Amino acid sequence: MDDDLPNYDSLCPHHGLFIINYSKEIIYTLTQVERTVNDVYGIFILFLSPINIAANIFSGVILIKKELRNPFNIILSIMCLTAAIPLLLQSSFAYRKVSITECSAQTETYSIALHNLIILNSLVPFRAAYTWITVFLTILRYKALKSKGKWEATYPLATVGTILLSGLSASAGIPMYMVNVIGELSIEEACLRAALPGEEGLTVPEPMWSPTFFDNNCLIFNINQLVSGIIHNTLPSLILLGSTIMLTLELGKARKGHNAVTTKSSKGNDDAVKAARMLTVVAILTLLSELPQGIISLSVFFFPLGYQWHYVDRLTRVWVTIQLITTSCNLLIYLVMSKNFRKAVIAMFCSRCRQTKTLSPQPSVISASTTVKQSRF
């Protein structure tokens, strides 16, 4: 290892199966990427996050309206909220920090530290829940398409499946909850400046790693890397990749007429295929941020601690920013690819449309059935 680089490997000397020589050139390049992405992330959080939050909440509300409500759209609505909640936490924290003109003991409050800790402990589980729920929805869509309209998801299945996957994502974060705590930092470290007169020895609350982080040869760290890395990142992204490929292949068969969805009309069949196409687009956008991160998360377990801190952590904000951008597209995707969603939006803002037009019972964007009971969106 270069003598100029911090020797993180010594903190957990037995972590990883392989030894790696760190490159200053690669670290420099990743640092530049990190700075650029941080600027993009800051702009997005401050100026575009309100649009993202509003669009996802709006989409979630539209999806559960009476004319569109079905088990598949309930899951889609939950996905929209899962994308909006962590962004709401991040943006509100960013606005609080921007409103502070000077870092001091009066501004670095416990409330600020707690807000930051909640973000640190919730961001990964929320992101994992979004991916797992996308996996669940993709598999359900594939099964419905494969059955040629003979099988439909039910409300209990959609509800229980979503709750279990959300619980899995939350419980996999337990080692992370044990690591991230609120401790005390000197005013110099917290504010990145010299102490002013009267501030000597003063400390302020800040989120940090627990002192037990490196105990027992980094036991908690290793457990967190294994459990969180696999359940939050690697496993859902790989399963999503496989289910998306299967859904895409099934769509190809349906389009060619070899395995078309059984419907009462050709228009119903077209709508069902368009439904699966829309979900495929959502899944692919999710994979853009989750698949690279899933593969990298798995590799972290096999290399020394410095591999994560010198390399991987510098890319964290990249994946977060990509996810923020892709989830911003949800409303646009629904509007472009779902005629019934557009009708529901128009009816919501147009009283004359509500009086003179009713939404015809078309197959759901996520449903293959053409029965009036389940054939919405």
Q: What is the DSSP string of 81-108?
A: HHHHHHHHHHHHHHHHHHT--S-STTTS
What's residue 371's pLDDT? 33
What's residue 373's pLDDT? 39
What's residue 1's pLDDT? 53
Q: How large is the angle between the packed helices 316-327 and 266-300, nearest 10 degrees? A: 170
Each residue's pLDDT expressed in tens, for the chain with a length of 377 residues: 555 778 888 888 877 788 888 889 999 999 999 999 999 999 999 999 999 999 999 999 999 998 888 899 999 999 999 999 999 999 999 999 899 888 888 899 999 999 999 999 999 999 999 999 999 999 999 998 888 778 888 999 999 999 999 999 999 999 889 889 999 999 999 988 888 888 888 999 999 988 887 788 788 888 888 888 899 999 999 999 999 999 999 888 877 764 444 444 444 455 667 778 888 999 999 999 899 988 888 888 888 888 988 999 899 889 889 988 899 889 999 999 888 898 889 888 876 655 555 544 444 444 433 333 344 55
CA 122 to chain centre: 11
Place of tokens 């911090």: 6
Q: Where are the domains of the chain?
A: 14-356
What's residue 365's pLDDT? 47
Q: How far apart are CA 251 and CA 259, in angstroms?
A: 9
Residues 6+ apart with CB under 8 A from 258: none
Q: Which residues of 200-234 are buried (b: 16+ CB within 10 A; e: fewer)?
A: eebbbbbbbeeeebeeeebebbbebbebbbbbbbb
CB-based contact 221:214 (threshold 8 Å): yes
- Per DSSP, 312 falls in state G
Q: How far apart are CA 24 and CA 20, in angstroms?
A: 13
CB-based contact 307:152 (threshold 8 Å): no
Q: Which CATH class is domain 14-356?
A: mainly alpha
